A and B are shown apart, each in its own frame.
Chain A
Amino acid sequence: MHMRAYLLRKAVGMVVTVLLVSTISFVFLQVIPGDPAQVILGTEASPEALQDLRRQLGLDRPLGLRYWTWLRGLLRGDLGESLRYQRPVVELLWERLPVTLVLAAAAVTLALTVALPMALLAARHAGTPVDLLIVLASQLGLALPPFWIGLLLIILFSLQLRWLPPGGYVLPGGGNPLGYLVLPTVALSLPLGAHLIWLLRQSILEVIERDFIRTARAKGLPENLVYYRHALRNALIPAMTVLGIHMGALLGGSIIIEQIFSLPGLGRLVLFAVYNRDWPLLQGGVVFIATAVVLINFVTDLIYGSLDPRISVTDT
């Protein structure tokens, strides 16, 4: 019973948040600029051209009606038509989504694969030089901007050693895209991995002092099992939320990474829209990415709830 009520509440909250997200996007791109047509064409545009564009974008109608049309379009999956591509925005977004998804998934996987053993190692040797080294490395990882690391990786591995391509991408069927993903994945995963090491180490150290760990040790459970079976599993719960929170930063970070490595993903599409003042594309891209962040957080919340049964009851 608790679980069902919890799910319902979370789902309703999620829908409200998505609605607010679309409203914020509308306010930013339709209300604040005053007349988007003027912003798109610049101050030297002829009155006729402005009038045409206003009609094309539906700007000649009252604001309330425009908002309603925007919401209705969203619900039907219609985000309008791109000015430069002359194609539906949704189609363009779907086309670019796989690249960004693959990049983000690879970055999360890499970050977890490195962070878990590192955090365990640091926690087991807390206070020793090994621990200090790992902690320092993670602080450094947090301080190095991913796009700078991307540049240095290109200098080292593409220009000097010539091991990997400096950028670009192959569409499925056109060759092996793996080589093109290695460097961007490393650059994008760096801040997430560093943060996860820091966080997991801290929560393992907190968990390890609890009574159930003492009990496990008193039972004679080998130290390895104490860490793997008990400490790590409990320490993973806070890490899950951080992962959810980081998804926004990850999608934001991929905008720059895609640009540096010339990857045809969502981020580069939105950047194209900004550079070219393609309003419908920009608005669609912004609402698409923000909604994706809300959905991912919703899913992490559910996983979080199933990992720790206490949460669904005590959640406020």
Chain B
Amino acid sequence: MRDRNYPLLIGGNIVLLITLGALFGGYLLSHHPAQGDLSARLEGPSPAHPLGTDHFGRDILSRTWQGSRIALSVAGGSVVLGLLGGLAVGSIAGLWKGWGGELLMRLMDALLAFPGILLAMALAAVLGPGQSTVILALGLGNIPIFARLARAAVLVVEKEQFVLAARVLGAGTLHIWWRHILPNGLPSLLAQASLSFATAIIVEAGLSFLGLGTQPPLASWGRMLSEARDYMGVSPWMALFPGLALAITVLGFNLLGEGIRRALNPRRR
């Protein structure tokens, strides 16, 4: 019986839809995310405002759409930073056999001890809150995770027969890294990238919830949820829709990551 890779299928489609929506959804919206209408405050869902309005009379659908752009760009930036940084550090640590490689990995262990949100809080105090601070902090926090994977790939691949053969033929370290280690290590890094993407979205929302992430007037899902806190009794949809958008997006990236991993290692379920 053929076992279909449902996580890949479902996760991939969710991610594709959300990305397309974030990129082009703006053309379908009739309200500006930051423009309020004080005569239409805290309204429930209606044809004019499909997801209702918030305490300033701003359209929640438009704000949720803007939130998706912010979530994707912050998570994307931090994952790219972590992936490239981790690939570099992990490759060097794997190829450098002496104490230097050992020290690099110890440094990664130490960096891993800082919860991402704590790192972001400290950097927000130092550099001021904002999206770039969150990207930097989450990117830094991601580096050790990718570095471990990259180093593991180096250690496994460099013992393979074809790499030994290439070495005998006179291939340099850089050539071997580019032609053999990178292509073999990349899939597991990509699976992790999707999972890190999901985590970054949750942490960004948490930071914005605390007021340390995305700053007004930009709408981020975390900010919208923290604003919804004061109106939980009157208009619960304010807390419902941004949270739902967040959950669906995170679910999509988690499933995609799991799907990629399953595709790489078909024996695992």
Residues of A within 8 A of B (CB): 13, 16-18, 20-21, 23-25, 28-29, 32-33, 39, 126, 139-140, 142-145, 147-148, 151-152, 154-155, 159, 202, 205-206, 248-249, 251-253, 255-256, 259, 270-271, 273-274, 277, 282, 286, 289-291, 293-294, 297
Q: Which of B122, B236, B269 is within 8 Å of A28, CB to CB?
A: B122
Bin the interface of chain B by size. 35 or more
In the complex the two chains form, is A154's CB within 8 Å of B110's CB?
A: no
- B243: chain A residues at CB < 8 Å are 144-145, 148, 151-152
Bound complex: CA A143 to CA B15 (Å): 14
In the complex the two chains form, is B118's CB within 8 Å of A151's CB?
A: no
- B229: chain A residues at CB < 8 Å are 151
Residues of B within 8 A of A (CB): 106-107, 109-119, 121-127, 198, 202-203, 205-206, 209-210, 212, 225, 228-229, 232-233, 236, 239, 243, 246-248, 250-251, 254-255, 268-269
In the complex the two chains form, is A143's CB within 8 Å of B248's CB?
A: yes
In the complex the two chains form, is A28's CB within 8 Å of B123's CB?
A: yes
In the complex the two chains form, is A20's CB within 8 Å of B107's CB?
A: yes
5 A-B residue pairings within 8 Å (CB atoms): A24-B114, A155-B236, A256-B206, A282-B122, A293-B115
In the complex the two chains form, is B254's CB within 8 Å of A142's CB?
A: yes
Among B110, B225, B248, B250, the most chain A Cβ lie within 10 Å of the Cβ of B110
Q: Which of B114, B118, B205, B251 is within 8 Å of A255, CB to CB?
A: B118
Bound complex: CA A30 to CA B110 (Å): 18
Q: Which of A142, A145, A152, A290 is within 8 Å of B113, CB to CB?
A: A290
Closest to B116 in A: A252
- A144: chain B residues at CB < 8 Å are 243, 247, 250
In the complex the two chains form, is B251's CB within 8 Å of A159's CB?
A: no
- B125: chain A residues at CB < 8 Å are 29, 39, 273-274, 277, 282
In the complex the two chains form, is B113's CB within 8 Å of A291's CB?
A: yes
In the complex the two chains form, is A289's CB within 8 Å of B254's CB?
A: no
- B233: chain A residues at CB < 8 Å are 155, 159
Given known pairs A253-B117, A256-B209, A256-B210, the reply for A148 and B122 (CB within 8 Å) is no
In the complex the two chains form, is B250's CB within 8 Å of A148's CB?
A: no
Bound complex: CA A115 to CA B268 (Å): 20
Bound complex: CA A32 to CA B119 (Å): 13
Closest to A209 in B: B267
Bound complex: CA A249 to CA B116 (Å): 8
In the complex the two chains form, is A145's CB within 8 Å of B202's CB?
A: yes
Given known pairs A255-B118, A289-B115, the reply for A274 and B209 (CB within 8 Å) is no
8 closest residue pairs by CB, A with B: A252-B115, A20-B110, A143-B251, A252-B117, A143-B250, A148-B243, A290-B113, A293-B113
In the complex the two chains form, is A270's CB within 8 Å of B118's CB?
A: yes
Closest to B229 in A: A151
Q: Which of B206, B232, B250 is within 8 Å of A159, CB to CB?
A: B232
CB distance from B248 to the nearest CB of A (A): 7
In the complex the two chains form, is A151's CB within 8 Å of B239's CB?
A: yes
**Interface contacts beyond A28-B122, A155-B236, A282-B125: sample of 19 additional A-B pairs, CB < 8 Å, sorted by A:** A13-B109, A20-B107, A21-B113, A24-B110, A33-B126, A142-B251, A145-B206, A145-B250, A147-B206, A147-B225, A155-B232, A248-B112, A252-B115, A253-B117, A255-B117, A274-B212, A290-B113, A290-B114, A294-B110
CB distance from A53 to the nearest CB of B (A): 15
In the complex the two chains form, is B209's CB within 8 Å of A143's CB?
A: no
Bound complex: CA A142 to CA B111 (Å): 24
Q: Which of B111, B210, B268 is within 8 Å of A24, CB to CB?
A: B111
CB distance from A38 to the nearest CB of B (A): 11
In the complex the two chains form, is B205's CB within 8 Å of A145's CB?
A: yes
Bound complex: CA A147 to CA B127 (Å): 25
In the complex the two chains form, is B239's CB within 8 Å of A286's CB?
A: no
Closest to B201 in A: A145
- A29: chain B residues at CB < 8 Å are 122, 125-126
Bound complex: CA A18 to CA B109 (Å): 10
- A289: chain B residues at CB < 8 Å are 114-115, 118
- A205: chain B residues at CB < 8 Å are 269
- B110: chain A residues at CB < 8 Å are 17-18, 20-21, 23-24, 290, 294
Closest to A149 in B: B243
Bound complex: CA A244 to CA B225 (Å): 30
Given known pairs A24-B114, A143-B251, A202-B268, the reply for A17 and B209 (CB within 8 Å) is no
